[in-house]
Each structure stands twice: as C-alpha cells, then as structure tokens.
Structure 1
Amino acid sequence: MGEKKSSVSKRAWVIIFLLFLLTVISNADKAIVGFASVPIMKELGLSPEQWGVVGSVFFLLYSLSAVLGGSLADKIGAKKVIAGMVAVWSIVQFSTIFVSSFSYLLVTRIILGAGEGPSYALAMTAASKYLPKEKLGIGLTMVSVGGPLGVAISAPVLMHLIMSYGWRSAFITTGVVGFLWILVWLWIAKEKAVTDTELAAEKDSSHIVSNESKFTSALFSKNFIFVALCGFATYWSFTIGLNWLPNYLENVRHLNEGTLKIVVALPWIMITLSQIIFSTISDRLYHKTKSVVKGRIFVLGPVMLAGAVSYFFGAMVSSNILAIVLLSLGLTFGCITLVMGPAILVDLVSHKHQGKIQGWFMALTSLGGIVGPYVTGYFIEHSASPAAGFQHAFQLCGLILLVFGGLVWLAVRPKKSENSALLNANTSKVL
C-alpha cells in the first residue's frame, strides 16, 4: 500500500514536464537582460546604479502578483491563471524590442515582473497536487530545475543571438517560444480536482494539524516567516547571478566572448545537479524519518551556509578559475530554498490553501530580488573600483545567506511536525 501511494502516474509526469518547460521559459526570459547588460547599457548610456534599478524594478509588482495569482488559482484553477500570465510576459518580450530609453526599459521590466510573479508558486502548487509527499522533493525539483536549466540552456543560444544579431533578437525568440508553450499547455493540461478521499483524509487529520490548517496561523507563524526570509536570501543571490554575474565575469575578470558563452551557463548547470542531489537526499530522509525537520530543514540549513562561505571568498581570490568555481557554488547552494521551501510548506498548510501560501512565500522571497540587484549596483558605482564593489556585494550576499539559512536550521521547529507521520499514515489508509 505504501509503495502504491509513492508512485507517480504517467499523466502526472507529463504535467510536471510541462511545468518544467514553464520554468525554463520563465527564467530564460529573466536571464536575457543579464546576458545583454553590456550592449543595452552601452546603447542607452546607463550607469551601474541605473542598471541596478533595472534589475530591481522587475520585482516591484512581482510580490503583489504572486499573492494575487495564488489566490486566483485557488478559485478558478491554476491552468487558466498560468496560461494568462505566460501570454502577458510573452507580449512584453515582443514590446521590449522597441526600447529606446531608460524609462521605457523600466516599464517593460515592471510589467514582465508582474506577469512572471505567480509563475513559480503556481508551478509548485500545480505539481504538488499530482505528487505524494514522499516524492515531493524530487518531483518539485523536476519543476524547479527548469529555472537553472532555462538559464544554462538558453545562455549559449541567447548570447549567440545577442552577439550576432543584436540584443533585440533574443527577446523576439523568447516571445515566440512563450506563445508556443501556451498552445501545448491549453491542449494537454487538465485541472486536477481534490478527490473525496483526499478531502476525507484531510478532515480526519484536522484535529492533528489544526493550526497548520488555518491559513492565517500558518502565514504569521515564526516558521513560515523564517522559511520566507531564507527564500529572501535565496532570491537576493539568484537575482545577482541573473543580473550581475555575466557583467562581473566580462568587465572585472575580463573573460573573452568564447569563454563567457560557456562559463555563464556553469552555475545554472550546477544548480540543476545540486537540486536533484539534495532533493533526493531529502526525500530519502523524509521517507525514513517521517519528519519535515530531519528530512527537509536539516538539508536546507547546512546547504545555505555552504553557499554563504562560497560567496564570501569567491570575489577575493585572484584566480579566475577559482573565482568562477566559488561564485558558482555560492549561487548553486543559495538556490536550494526554491525546492525545500515549497516542500516544507506542503507539510505545514492545508491542501486548499496551497495556492495562497505558495504565493505569499514567493511574494516575500522575491523582495530579495528587489533589493539585491540595486544594492549590488550601488556598491559597484560608489566603491573605489568595480572589482571592490563586486567584492563587497558578494560578501554581503554571503552574510545574508548565513544569517537567514542559520535561522531556519536552528529555529524552524513545526509544533506538529512530530505528528506528520500520523497524518501521512491516515492519508495512505484512505488512498
């Protein structure tokens, strides 16, 4: 019975694959601006601080739209909301080709952020409905790795388009891909309704997880806030990688175009591999211990601290190779919350509230994307040299990963976590 519960249907894997492609496209769309930073800054005459603003405004409406998108998905279904948001950001990609000023660029980034705000939360919500808890780590990872793979896969292609045909060609390409994905999604995807057995299982176990079943209790709990702060640190790191790392490698480390095309993809490949490895470890620990603390939190905390150490030393070393390795590891380990955070929340919050809680998680997490790129640009412009500015920015990012990752590791202890095994047992009996 237990083995049957842990299996994943073929249809579920098809949906997960489509959601994987969704995150591939979403993150390729985000990454273009980083790949094209040098020619765009040169054409529009932007300063480092202005470019930091370009990176930050993307997340200006990102948080709000994540919350609204998650709530809307709980009411009308994730399928429709996902299709609508992809349409929005694909249209924006086309409109970006007409950018001729700093203000116009900011407007396109704000609208794109609003369109992409709900994407990750909705992908996690949709995927979690098709997955048993023992498979959440690896299942959600299969969706999440579309993010780093989206950057890794698109990096050489987009860099080639930018260098050969101008930066606008890359935006046209991603816009076309977005519309093609919508057609496939509307054709294949079906809403998965909550079954009577799932509702019965949740009702039978409501006395066990009453606090977690109340949305407001979960939203304002210490545990959720600390996990969200960990996500904040992750997005600070993630957006620095998107918006500033290619610029750093080209202007400070002086990598040539051929090397740059390869190196900019390295961190995102490493993120993919690390998320698969750590989520598999997490699933096995969770399956063995039936504990969200031992199976999820004790994986998340140490990995975040490893990312902090890598960032701290990455910009200090003189060797280009060592710098690339350390900064890639910092970005790699810092992204683990994108998988572990949603998996933890599935254990803490009622099924019917998953869209809302995942939306709020991404809303608070994405605030790191507002602050991180701007602070990095500020350091670069106001330090003695760009190299010094990048060093300060990377070390600050490491400190934030250290503090918030440490808080999760040491302080997140769900009061009902010891009862999650009983909850799972009740669910398995019903199923």
Structure 2
Amino acid sequence: MAKNPRTKEGKISRQAILIIILLFLLTVISNADKAIIGFASVPLMEELGLNAEQWGIIGSAFFFLYSIFAIIGGTLADRFGAKIVIAGMAIVWATVQFSTLFVSSFTFLLITRIILGAGEGPSYSLAMTAATKYLPKEKLGIGLTLVSVGGPLGVAMSAPILISLITQFGWRSAFLATCIVGLIWVVFWLMIAENDRKEAIAKYKANRQQGQQTAVSKFGPVLRSKNFILIAICGFATYWSFTIGLNWLPNYLENVRQLSAETLSIVAALPWIMITISQITFSTVSDRLFKKTKSIVKGRVFVLGPVMLAGAVSYFIGTLLNANMLVIAFLSLGLTFGCITLVLGPTILSSMVSKEHIGKVQGWFMAFTSLGGIVGPYITGLLIERSATQAAGFHMAFQLCGIILLICGGLVWLFVRPNKDENIQSNVA
C-alpha cells in the first residue's frame, strides 16, 4: 500500500498539523457543549424543579441517539467525505445550544439533550478518522492523542469561563456562548479543510464495483471478533466514568463537598487537565513501545489494561477518604485513568481494518462505547435519589464505576490478542 502523501519519512506534515489543530478545536467545542450541563446542574435543577433521578435521565438522554448516529456518521464520512459531514454536525450542535436558551420544562430540556447527542454522536469517531488519514503509523498514538486531548482540555478551559458566565449572567448565557463559538469554528473549517468528497466517492464506487458482499465479508468479522468486542466493552466502562465526570462530579463537589463557586471553577478543571497530561504521556509511551516491539499487545494492550485498573483503584480510595483535597485528587485520578480507552482504543482498532473501513469501525466502536453514557448517569442518579444521604449515593456510584473499570480493564489486558490478519494489517504503511 502506498504511503500517505501527506506524510514524509514518518513525520507529521505541515498540512497535517493544521488539520490536527482544527480537529483538536472541534473536540474542545464538542466537550464544552457536553460539560456545560454539569456546570449548570444546580441552577437548572432548581429552576425546573428536578430531582436526582430526573437529572440522571437528562444526563443519559444525551446518548439515546448517540450510538445510532455514531454509526451513521462514520458511514456517511466513508461515502461523502469527512469535511461536509463534520461541518453539518457542528451546525447541529450550535443550533441546539441556541434552542436551549428557551428551555422551560423537563421535557424540553430532555429533547434538546437527545438532539445534541445525535449531532455529537459521530464527532469523536469522525475526528479520529480524519486525523488517521493524515498521520504516519509511527505517529498514530500521539497524533490521535493531540486530537483527543481537546476533549478534556475543552472541559478544563471552558470550566472557569462557563461557571463564571453562569454565576454572573445565568445559565442561559453559557449556552449562548457555546453556540457562537461553534458557528465560528464551522466557518474556519469550511475555509481551511481539504475537500475529500471526490476521493470518498471514488473509493465508494470502486468498492461497489468490486462487490459490496466482499467488502461486508471483510468488515463484518471485525465487529464479531473477540478483540473488537473486548475493546468496545472497555470503551463502555470508560464512557460510564467519563459521563459521570461530566454530569455529576461538579454537582458532587458543590452539594456534598460544599465548594464555593470560585473554588469550583478552579477544581472542576483539575481532572480534565490531568486527563490531558495522562493521555499525552501514555500515548507517547505506547508509541515508543510499539516502535520498539512492533507488537500491538506489548505496545498498546499492555498499556491500556493496567491504566484502567489504576483508575478503578483510585475511585475506591477516593470514596474512603475525608479530606476534600485528597478526595478530589483520587476521584480525579479515577476519571483520568479511566479515559485512556478514548486514545488507545481507536489506535488499536486502526490496526485491525483497511483504510476504507476505518470510519465505520470507529463509528461502531463509539456506538458501543456510548452505551456507557446512557446507563452511567441514570444509575448514578438512581443511587443518589434512593440512598440515605447524597454522599452515600455518590460514593456507591463511584465504587460501582470502579468495579466496572476493574472488570473491563482486566479482560482487555488478559484477552485482547491480534490474530494473524490483524498483525499483518498493523504493519501495513
């Protein structure tokens, strides 16, 4: 297979760097859009009269259509090119954020979250797919990480700004701000991104001429493989943890730990900064190990599994301590280590299929992964609502999250092993 013309001698080209920056900003905006609901949870719950169980439903609603549209988005990108699909997706986000200004009931808020989830469903997989096309395989781990860290950095950077807006001007001002930023990004994306529509259509027609059944027969076994299923389960655990961090952690810090708005605006950014640092660190370590060993197992899997287990242990320790700073530190570590699948999951999967199927496999991965986002926030709300105290409910929810990370991380560590075909694919330039 020919080398990617946008890369040279294993280095990331200038054109690729520009695209990576745009995709980084895309994930920043996407995750700020997700996180805003957590920052606004207290005033929103008070204004709409929502209890913890209802808020759990709101948190889960974001992912009701997320899985379906993650698959649809990946397929559309393979069919029509990533540029136009990503632009349309970002326009949906901005429109929904604007419509949230007029929310006045639980039902209205629920609908906006469902539509926003549908619009954001393909975001991560499309960003990973677009970035993969511009990166040499030797730089895949760190390259995808540079896009992925826009997620935690988006939350970290937006936290003090959005919390300040909510405190000074009300929660609606924060939604308006994210709408405006999203629209500005779309303009720059349409101006700068390379039009890949003709290339995607040409590949699609070529695949049809070769026979759709052949393409399906090559892609279908990947979805049914033990490796894909285990990595998807690991992603499920990651998103369970990730969405608890987005939807419930700010509420826990404010209501249970009694942090002031000023302190919260600083502390709320901590886990997301830690996630950024850890993802860069572990992906760099993974790339070096992969380059040295030429092994997906030693270079990728043996990093992913242990880090997930470290996240599980951190969650448990965080629920056993009393001092605020220690609790915050360990819960932040649990969230931090639990998010490693968002980087190494797509990296491992990119070695399993040919390039024309990368969009689809990443879409399916995010579809399964996002199921954790449906279940996690609701179960957390249920535990909080039905426990003797809010603190007891939160601690039980964090411990349950730790158990899930422990089981899923352990399964991946022990049993993900590429078969012969995948080993061959991982060595294809």
TM-score bracket for this pair, using the shorter chain length: over 0.9
Task: Calculate percent identity across the aligned residue pairs.
Answer: 69
Question: Can you list the C-alpha shifts for 1:358-393, whole angstroms capped at 9, x where unaligned?
Answer: 000000000000000000000000011000000110
Native 8 Å contact 1:214 1:350 kept in 2: no
In the TM superposition, what is the alpha-carbon distance from 1:350 to its structure 2 partner? 1.1
Alignment of 1:113-124 (within 5 A): 113-124=117-128
Which residue does the alignment assign to 1:158? Answer: 162
Comparing 286-295 and 392-401, the one that deviates more = 286-295
The within-5 A match list for 1:239-388 is: 239-388=243-392
Flag the 1:354–1:421 CA change in 2: closer, same or farther, 3 A: closer
In structure 2, the CA distance between the partners of 1:60 and 1:364, relative to structure 1 (3 Å rule), is same
Aligned-partner Cα distance in 1 for 2:136–2:36 = 35
Q: 1:193 to 1:94 in 2, by over 3 A?
A: closer
Maintained 8 Å contact 2:230/2:412:
yes
Contact 1:380 1:390 in 2 (8 A): yes
Asked if 1:5 is matched to 2:2, the reply is: no
Q: Is the 8 A contact 2:253 2:264 kept in 1?
A: yes
Q: Provide the C-alpha distance between the structure 2 equivalents of 1:295 and 1:192, rounded to a whole number of angstroms.
A: 32
For structure 2, the residue ranges without an aligned partner over 5 or more in a row are 204-213
**Cα contact 1:291–1:420 (8 A) shared by 2:** no
Note the C-alpha offset of 1:420: 3.8
The aligned counterpart of 1:57 is 61
Q: Could you report, residue by residue, the CA deviation over 1:160-198 in whole angstroms, capped at 9, with x for unpaired residues? A: 000000000000000000000000000000145899xxx
Q: CA deviation at 1:140?
A: 0.2
Aligned residues of 2:240 and 2:376 also touching (Cα < 8 A): yes
Greater Cα offset, 249-258 or 136-145: 249-258
Asked if the contact 1:140/1:339 (under 8 Å) is kept, the reply is: yes
Quote the offset at 1:257 in angstroms.
Answer: 1.6
Of stretches 45-54 and 2-11 in structure 1, the one that deviates more from structure 2 is: 2-11
Residue-by-residue CA offset, 1:135-175 (whole Å, 9 max, x unaligned): 01100000000000000000000000000000000000000
Q: Distance in 1 between matches of 2:275 and 2:40?
A: 22
Question: Which residue in 2 is equivalent to 1:190?
Answer: 194
Amino acid of the structure 2 residue aligned with 1:28: A
For the residues of structure 2 that align with 1:164 and 1:101, how far apart are their CA atoms? Answer: 22
Contact 1:211–1:218 (CA<8 Å) still a contact in 2? Answer: no
Quick check: 1:69 aligned with 2:73? yes
Q: 1:224 aligns with which of 218, 224, 228?
A: 228
For residues 295 and 133 of structure 1, the distance between their equivalents in structure 2, rounded to whole angstroms, comes to 13
- In the alignment, structure 1 segments of 5+ residues that lack a partner are 200-209
Partners of 2:280 and 2:71 lie apart in 1 by 27
- Cα gap change, 1:319/1:354 in structure 2, threshold over 3 Å: closer, same or farther? same
Q: Distance in 2 between matches of 1:293 and 1:211?
A: 27
Aligned equivalent of 2:152, options 145, 148, 154: 148
C-alpha distance in 1, partners of 2:179/2:426? 47
Following superposition, the deviation at residue 245 of structure 1 comes to 0.2
Q: TM-score under structure 1 normalisation?
A: 0.93
- Partner of 1:347: helix, strand, or coil? coil
Hey, what's the Cα distance between the residues in 2 that align with 1:120 and 1:172?
23
- SS of the equivalent of 1:407 reads helix
Whether the aligned pair in 2 keeps the contact of 1:211 and 1:217 (CA below 8 Å) is no
Structure 2 counterpart of 1:105, from 77, 102, 109: 109
SS in 2 for 1:214: helix
Give the Cα–Cα distance (whole angstroms) in 2 for the partners of residues 4 and 72 of structure 1.
29
Structure 1 Cα separation of the partners of residues 178 and 313 of structure 2: 35
Shift of the 100–404 alpha-carbon distance from structure 1 to 2, 3 Å rule, reads same
RMSD: 2.0
Match of 1:237 in 2: 241
Mapped to 2, the partners of 1:11 and 1:420 lie a distance apart of 29
Which residue matches 1:93?
97
Task: Deviation per CA, 1:216-261: give whole Å up to 9, x if none.
Answer: 0101101000000000000000000000000000111111121111
1:238/1:335 contact within 8 Å kept: yes
Q: Give the letter aligned to residue 301 of structure 1.
A: G
| 1:15-26 map, 5 Å | 15-26=19-30
Describe the superposition over 1:41-67 as per-residue Cα deviations: whole angstroms up to 9, x where unpaired: 000000000000000000000000000
The one-letter code sitting in structure 2 at the alignment partner of 1:352 is: E
Which one of the candidate residues 160, 176, 179 is aligned to 1:172?
176
- 1:127 to 1:264, Cα distance in 2 relative to 1, 3 A: same
| TM-score, normalised via structure 2 length | 0.93
Task: Return the letter of the residue paired with 2:417.
Answer: R
Q: Tell me how far apart the structure 1 counterparts of residues 426 and 330 of structure 2 sit (CA, whole Å).
A: 42
What is the deviation of 1:356?
0.6
- Distance in 2 of aligned mates of 1:88 and 1:289: 43
The 8 Å contact of residues 59 and 367 in structure 1, kept in 2 or not, is answered as yes
Separation in 1 of the partners of 2:320 and 2:390?
A: 13
Q: Distance in 1 between matches of 2:338 and 2:420?
A: 27
Aligned-partner residue type, residue 64 of structure 1:
I
**SS of 2:307 mapped into structure 1:** helix
